[in-house]
Amino acid sequence: MQIISAQQIQSVLDWSGVLDALHHGHAGARPSGGSYFIGDASFGLFSRGVILPGRGAGVKIASIHPANGAAVPPLPSEQAAFLVLDERTKGLVAMLDGPEITRWKTAADSALAARMLCREHSEVLLVLGAGPVARSLTDAYLHIRPSIREVLLWNRTPSRLEAARSALDARNIRVSIVHLSSTVKRATI
């Protein structure tokens, strides 16, 4: 069995390839799948599986522990793995870093929809959130709409916004931390 780290995933994926693969996947027959969650507000276990006829199967397993964010230093509130099963043998062939796969998949799903639905020359992106998925989402949107000139950031925990802004500042686009209610109308995406 291969164990594939976040760094290995980052080294082989790019937004063009991920978006094209996802578009192709959504065009086919809907796979069978299901989810399972047990827990409460302090801790939970989540599992989601999918069977892709002719390709194999996959299962994401995750623990969700919000208190990890308050640890010093902070720890991820979600820790997860994605398991890949072989089509022929149904045996486990790989374990991938779950949070990294989640960032790519979540951002790509949203960007794929936007690529089909939003104006081609949109210039102002509003991002709700300041965590890793928000950063991936911004990267994906900048890929599909290079016309974006400004990113507006909002998060329910304002103290997390400065790190998100710093991560985007190097991209030569304007980044603003905003109040949601007064900014929504400015966004074109």
Considering the entire predicted model, what is its pTM? 0.87
* Banded pLDDT at 115 (limits 50, 70, 90): very high
Whether 53 contacts 72, CB under 8 Å: no
Give the tens place of pLDDT for each residue, 30-77. 888 999 999 998 999 999 999 988 889 999 999 999 999 889 998 988
Give the tens place of pLDDT for each residue, 128-187. 988 888 889 999 999 999 999 999 999 988 888 888 888 777 777 888 889 888 888 899
Q: Where are the beta strands (DSSP E) in the chain?
A: 2-4, 32-39, 44-52, 56-64, 78-85, 92-97, 124-128, 150-154, 174-177
Q: How would DSSP label each residue in 61-108?
A: EEEE-GGGGGSSS---SEEEEEEEE-TTT--EEEEEEHHHHHHHHHHH
Tell me the three state secondary structure of residue 40.
Answer: coil
Gap between the terminal Cα atoms of the chain: 41
- Classify the phi-psi angles of 157: left when phi > 0, otherwise alpha if psi is within -120 to 50, otherwise beta: beta
Longest dimension (CA), the chain: 55
Question: Is residue 105's pLDDT more than 90?
Answer: yes
Domains and CATH numbers, the chain: 2-98 (3.30.1780.10), 118-186 (3.40.50.720)
Whether 177 contacts 158, CB under 8 Å: yes
